Structure 1
Amino acid sequence: MNQPPYLATTCVRCGFQHNCYCDAIPTITSDLTVTLLTHPNETKRATNTGQIVKQLLPNTHIDIWQRKGPIPSYIASQERLSVRESELEPTTPVLVFPSESSVPLAQWQSQHPRGSHFILLDATWQEAKKMLNRSEWLQALPQVSITAPESSQYQLRRNQQSGNLCTFEVVAQMINELESDKTARTMLAFFKDYLARYQAERCGHRLDKP
Structure 2
Amino acid sequence: MIAACKQCGLIHNCYCQAIPKIACDLYITLLTHENELLRATNTGHLAKKVLKHCEVEIWQRKQPIQALASDRIPMLLFPDDDSRAFNDLSVDEIAQAQFIVLDATWQEAKKMLNRTPELKQLPKVMISSNTESSYALRRNQEKGNLCTYEVAAQMVEQLGDASQSDKMMTFFNYYLACFQAERSGHQYKNSTV
Q: Specify the TM-score bucket, using the shorter chain as the normaliser.
A: over 0.9
Give the number of equivalent residue pairs.
191
Could you tell me how far 1:29 is from its partner in structure 2? 1.5
Do the aligned residues in 2 keep the contact of 1:36 with 1:119 (CA within 8 Å)?
A: yes
- Which residue does the alignment assign to 1:4? none
- Which residue does the alignment assign to 1:87? none
Establish whether residue 122 from structure 1 lines up as the match of residue 103 from structure 2: yes
Do the aligned residues in 2 keep the contact of 1:37 with 1:121 (CA within 8 Å)?
A: yes
Could you tell me how far 1:31 is from its partner in structure 2? 1.6
Could you tell me how far 1:28 is from its partner in structure 2? 1.4
Do the aligned residues in 1 keep the contact of 2:21 with 2:52 (CA within 8 Å)?
A: no
| C-alpha distance in 1 between matches for 2:40 and 2:149 | 14
| C-alpha distance in 1 between matches for 2:152 and 2:158 | 10
Q: TM-score, normalised by structure 1?
A: 0.86
Do the aligned residues in 1 keep the contact of 2:86 with 2:127 (CA within 8 Å)?
A: yes
Q: TM-score, normalised by structure 2?
A: 0.94
| C-alpha distance in 2 between matches for 1:113 and 1:43 | 28
- Which residue does the alignment assign to 1:33? 27
- Of the two, which has the highest radius of gyration? 1
- Which residue does the alignment assign to 1:156? 137
Q: Residue deviations 1:9-38, cap 9 Å, x none? A: 211111110000011111211121100000
Do the aligned residues in 1 keep the contact of 2:19 with 2:50 (CA within 8 Å)?
A: yes
Do the aligned residues in 2 keep the contact of 1:36 with 1:120 (CA within 8 Å)?
A: yes
Could you tell me how far 1:147 is from its partner in structure 2? 1.1
Could you tell me how far 1:111 is from its partner in structure 2? 5.9
- Which residue does the alignment assign to 2:82? 101
Could you tell me how far 1:148 is from its partner in structure 2? 2.2
Gaps of 5+ in 1: 1-6, 81-90
Do the aligned residues in 1 keep the contact of 2:26 with 2:94 (CA within 8 Å)?
A: no
199 and 149 in structure 1: CA distance in 2 versus 1, 3 angstrom threshold? same
- Output the aligned Cα RMSD: 1.4
| C-alpha distance in 1 between matches for 2:120 and 2:149 | 23
SS at match of 2:40: coil
1:19 to 13, 16, 22: 13
Q: Residue deviations 1:12-70, cap 9 Å, x none? A: 11111000001111121112110000011101000000001111112111011122333
- Which residue does the alignment assign to 2:40? 46
Do the aligned residues in 2 keep the contact of 1:47 with 1:156 (CA within 8 Å)?
A: yes
Look up the equivalent residue of 1:170 and give its one-letter code: V
Gaps of 5+ in 2: none
| C-alpha distance in 1 between matches for 2:12 and 2:109 | 33
Do the aligned residues in 2 keep the contact of 1:148 with 1:165 (CA within 8 Å)?
A: no
158 and 114 in structure 1: CA distance in 2 versus 1, 3 angstrom threshold? closer
SS at match of 1:148: coil
Identity %, equivalent residues: 49
